[in-house]
Amino acid sequence: MAIKLDERAVRTAAPPAKGAASIWDSEIRGFGLRVYAPTRRNPEGAKTFFVNYRSLGVERRLTIGEYPTWSAVAARAEAKALRKRIDLGEDPARERREVREAPTVKDLAQRYKTDHLPRKVPSSRKADWAMIEREILPVLGERKVADVHFGDLKALHERITASGRPVRANRVIAVASKMFALSLKPRAGESEPWRDAAQGNPCKGIERNQEEGRERFFSTAEIAALSEALTEHQGPAADCLRWIMLTGCRPGEAMKAQWSEFAEPGVWTKPSAHTKQKKVHRVPLSPAAIELIGKLTSKRDADGSEFVFPGRVAGKPIRELRRVWAAVTASAGLKGALVYTLRHSYASIGAGGGLSLQIIGRLLGHTVSRTTERYAHLADDPLREAAVKIGGAIANAGKGASNVAEFPKRGGAA
């Protein structure tokens, strides 16, 4: 049956005794009214407007809405607009379904947990996930990934900052930025990304809060105390801590070190899979580090592990340093100190000894110079000492030979 679905026709349309019946409009192709039999919840029977059409040979039905929430006039106008889109080759039902089923920020968080967190060291995994659960998901979790904008992330950053946690605000945005970077790429088995590249990363351009450097370095006396305390411990964890102290490497790089990385005498070649910069990092070893790796070679002959610092599970590397480190720092009177401070101390000794920041950065595997620049004030120490000597020599010139600083001569007379 086809009639013009105007207000009177829709209002007077009688419901069937059971089930549902469709009434088609006589003017707009595919436009119809679905009339349902009465129920306890709706004794008069429900009425719903819809549009039927075919797309790529498949028949689809798109619901417009219920009467009287949608008047006949409004439903007819919507049906005409949909019909124009359909005639242009669009598929509104599929588009609506895609929007309804589009991934949320909560889904993106799970993707981050699965695809990215396993690459990070355990402590970083825990910290990242805590920020996601406590800061990001309560605010944005139910939002569609494609619907999140710059202003949403900026507001989140400002809210956390206003709560007295400026550094935390920066870290949360860093994690969110990585999450949305993943959304710009299709996942395995998917043809489309979760977020259009034209939308970009909504975290881009958010101005971070100023952070004051709070680097902790062990003094020479503290390093000596740690070395002495380490002599009381044996095993892979203690050996790994000695290795970090002597090479300044990241704890994760040391824990995953394999014997195949020491094929070249006196050199540690870290594979890209183990380094933060995702590049092969070739590091010359000091005599003390070479001596330690030599001692560990004899232990390797006993356990046969491919890992320099084997774990308790056969074929696996050591998983944690926390317990031995806690005992060592307590014995050295440095309770609460971080393992990572060994890396900072390695760099600070080099900077204080006059090594250039470029050399220190290459030893540590820094990819950007600003990461190494935190040691700039230490690198100035030998320059300051030299400036004092030169300035003293100039100031005392002509006041007697005994007051003039002596400088070592190079290659004979100038």
Beta-carbon contacts of residue 356 (< 8 Å; ≥ 6 apart): 379
**Parallel, antiparallel, or unpaired: how do β-strands 58-67 and 267-270 relate?**
unpaired
Q: Which amino acid is at 5?
A: L
Burial class of residue 146, CB neighbours in 10 A (0-12, 13-18, 19+): middle
CATH class entry, domain 105-183: mainly alpha
Strand-pair partners of 25? 3
Residue indicated by tokens 């407007």 = 49
Other CB atoms within 10 Å distance of the CB of residue 316: 12
Beta-carbon contacts of residue 264 (< 8 Å; ≥ 6 apart): none
Which residue would you say has higher pLDDT here, 97 or 293? Answer: 293
Same fold flag, 105-183 and 220-375: no
SS3 call for 297: helix
Tell me what pLDDT residue 362 has: 81
What is the C-alpha to C-alpha distance for residues 363 and 248, in angstroms, rounded to an integer?
8
Distances (CA, A) of 97 to 61, 91, 101, 117, 396: 12, 10, 6, 31, 86
Domain ranges of the chain: 2-101, 105-183, 220-375
pLDDT in tens, 334-343: 988 889 889 8
Q: Which amino acid is at 357?
A: L
Rg of the chain (C-alpha set)? 35
What is the C-alpha to C-alpha distance for residues 163 and 180, in angstroms, rounded to an integer?
24
pLDDT in tens, 298-333: 777 566 789 999 998 888 999 899 999 999 999 999
What is the C-alpha to C-alpha distance for residues 30 and 61, in angstroms, rounded to an integer?
9
CATH topology of domain 2-101: Double Stranded RNA Binding Domain (3.30.160)
| CB-CB contact of 5 with 72 (8 Å) | yes
Confidence of residue 346 (pLDDT cuts 50, 70, 90): confident
Q: How many whole angstroms from its chain centre is CA 30?
A: 49
Tell me what pLDDT residue 298 has: 79
Q: Taking phi first (over 0 means left), then psi (-120 to 50 degrees means alpha), and beta for anything else, what does residue 89 get? A: left
Work out the percent of the chain whose per-residue pLDDT is above 70. 86
Q: How many whole angstroms from its chain centre is CA 221?
A: 37
Q: What's the whole-model pTM score?
A: 0.51
Tell me what pLDDT residue 1 has: 65
Of 145, 207, 134, 156, the closest CA to residue 181 belongs to 145
**Parallel, antiparallel, or unpaired: how do β-strands 20-25 and 2-3 relate?**
parallel
Tell me what pLDDT residue 366 has: 75
Which two structure tokens, joined as six digits, stand for 216? 């902790």
pLDDT, average across residues 72-101: 88
Q: Is the pLDDT of residue 59 over 60?
A: yes
Find the distance separating the first CA and the last CA of the chain, reported in whole Å.
Answer: 112
Per-residue HEC secondary structure of 66-108 comes to EECCCCHHHHHHHHHHHHHHHHCCCCHHHHHHHHHHCCEHHHH
Which two structure tokens, joined as six digits, stand for 169? 């605000």
What is the C-alpha to C-alpha distance for residues 83 and 256, in angstroms, rounded to an integer?
61
Q: Is the pLDDT of residue 378 over 90?
A: no
Superfamily of the domain at 220-375: Intergrase catalytic core (1.10.443.10)
**Parallel, antiparallel, or unpaired: how do β-strands 20-25 and 31-36 relate?**
antiparallel
pLDDT, average across residues 244-262: 92
Beta-carbon contacts of residue 168 (< 8 Å; ≥ 6 apart): 131, 135, 160
Confidence of residue 154 (pLDDT cuts 50, 70, 90): very high
Cα dihedral sign, 357-358-363-367: positive
